[in-house]
């Protein structure tokens, strides 16, 4: 086990782009993996995992290395040296790593790990918010779980294949998978693999989608032939799942504020063979008004803090701000009141987030039910999913049903009463 200079240099360049240039970790990693075609799978695995590890533990490593932002290249090398020592790598005789204090690094790690915000490498405000909303015990276990790397989960595209068939094809490619109880379309990779390079992915046999994210479409109680609206479709992971559950029968309207996201969804839908999807950009309020009381089912996968998906987006820990979360709560309230009007009487609505904060979840639903439009809905059930309990992403989903319209009394009855 030794460090290779070209891989480490790529890692340092990538960390500079993420920490100092504001780029998103997933985009930076994707670019880094294309840097050298000669790299094998183990080389690419080292680059991707090391970048994500240093991003995940940024605060802790910076404290141990005694460096502060903005990080110059010497600072980044010092943080990398902390990672290498704690992972048990022999420190090579390179100029950038001269004088690495291995014993001091291990000692400071033990000392700083006594403070949760440092041990779990999160901002103080995030730790305080987590304790306030979930309580000390739950938050401690949840943030620890959120610091574990995310598993790779596939969702079988039932428009094109079966779970059994896909498992067999992947097995032939030396990609082993496990099934999940009560998750009919989910396959979990036993070891990470670049599944996007496989022919079966290019043929649309599966999508990569977290196991708990796959619960949302099923929660919507979808049936073939319905008219369904996904109001915050984005690039369409849940939209495509809904299309599969509809068996391509009925009308599925995918909406979003951003045309670029819907373009990505169109590409994915074509690959997946999902052809019952219509695309609408929410560029005016008229787009929503035209659909008032028209849909059997509405999904509001609301914008949120993302505090349920830190394990797959560790850089969000450093990009999030308390004021952003305050603002997103207001947007969630507005979206819920506005988009709920699309549900027809007797139809159902799912409000979902990838957050674990009650203020973004059940408290939003409780507040909504007191509004004028909310009073037209009945709460059916909800599901609060913590990463610490499930092993996958944190999610929340609530199912509401719009009450059937109360029949108005005939004119003669009204007159008789008068």
Which residue numbers are catalytic? 354
Burial degree of 62 (CB within 10 A; 0-12, 13-18, 19+): buried
Residues 6+ apart with CB under 8 A from 129: 322, 325, 357
Give the C-alpha separation, 44 to 93, whole Å.
23
CB 153 within 8 A of CB 6: no
393 has binding-site annotation:
no
CB 194 within 8 A of CB 44: yes
Residues 6+ apart with CB under 8 A from 277: 239, 243, 252, 253, 254, 265, 269
Could you check whether the bond before residue 172 is cis, i.e. omega within 30 degrees of 0? no
382 has binding-site annotation:
no
93 has binding-site annotation:
no
Give the C-alpha separation, 156 to 392, whole Å.
17
The binding site for S-adenosyl-L-methionine consists of 256, 283, 301
The binding site consists of 256, 283, 301
């Amino acid at each position: 086990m030794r460090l290779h200079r070209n891989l480490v240099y790529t890692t340092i360049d990538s960390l500079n782009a993420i920490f100092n240039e504001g780029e998103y970790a997933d985009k930076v990693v994707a670019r880094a993996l294309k840097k050298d075609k000669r790299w094998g799978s183990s080389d690419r695995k080292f680059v991707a995992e090391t970048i994500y590890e240093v991003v995940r533990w940024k605060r802790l490593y910076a404290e141990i290395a005694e460096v502060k932002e903005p990080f110059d290249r010497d600072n980044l090398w010092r943080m990398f040296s902390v990672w290498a020592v704690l992972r048990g790598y022999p420190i090579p005789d390179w100029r950038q790593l001269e004088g690495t204090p291995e014993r001091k690094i291990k000692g400071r790690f033990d000392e700083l790990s006594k403070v949760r915000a440092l041990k779990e490498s999160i901002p103080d405000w995030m730790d305080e918010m987590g304790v306030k909303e979930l309580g000390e015990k739950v938050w401690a276990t949840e943030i620890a779980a959120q610091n574990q790397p995310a598993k790779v989960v596939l969702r079988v595209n039932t428009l094109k294949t079966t779970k059994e068939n896909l498992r067999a094809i992947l097995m032939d490619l030396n990609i082993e998978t496990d099934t999940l109880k009560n998750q009919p379309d989910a396959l979990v990779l036993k070891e990470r693999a670049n599944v996007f390079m496989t022919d079966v992915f290019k043929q649309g046999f599966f999508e990569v989608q977290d196991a708990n994210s796959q619960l949302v479409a099923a929660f919507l109680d979808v049936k073939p032939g319905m008219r369904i609206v996904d109001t915050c479709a984005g690039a369409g992971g849940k939209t495509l799942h809904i299309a599969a559950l509809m068996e391509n029968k009925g009308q599925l309207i995918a909406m979003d504020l951003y045309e670029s996201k819907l373009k990505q969804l169109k590409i994915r839908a074509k690959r997946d063979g999902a052809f019952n999807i219509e695309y609408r950009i929410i560029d005016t309020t008229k787009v929503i008004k035209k659909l008032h009381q028209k849909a059997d089912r509405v999904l509001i996968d609301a914008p949120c803090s993302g505090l349920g998906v830190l394990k797959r987006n560790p850089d969000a820990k450093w990009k999030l701000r308390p004021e952003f979360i305050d603002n997103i709560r207001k947007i969630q309230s507005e979206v819920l009141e506005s988009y709920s009007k699309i549900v027809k009487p007797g139809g159902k609505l799912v409000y979902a987030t990838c957050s674990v904060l009650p203020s973004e979840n059940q408290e939003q639903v409780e507040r909504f039910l007191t509004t004028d439009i909310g009073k037209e809905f009945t709460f059916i059930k909800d599901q609060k999913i913590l990463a610490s309990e499930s092993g996958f992403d944190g999610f929340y989903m609530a199912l509401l049903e719009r009450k059937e319209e109360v029949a108005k009394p005939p004119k003669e009855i009204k007159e008789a009463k008068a």
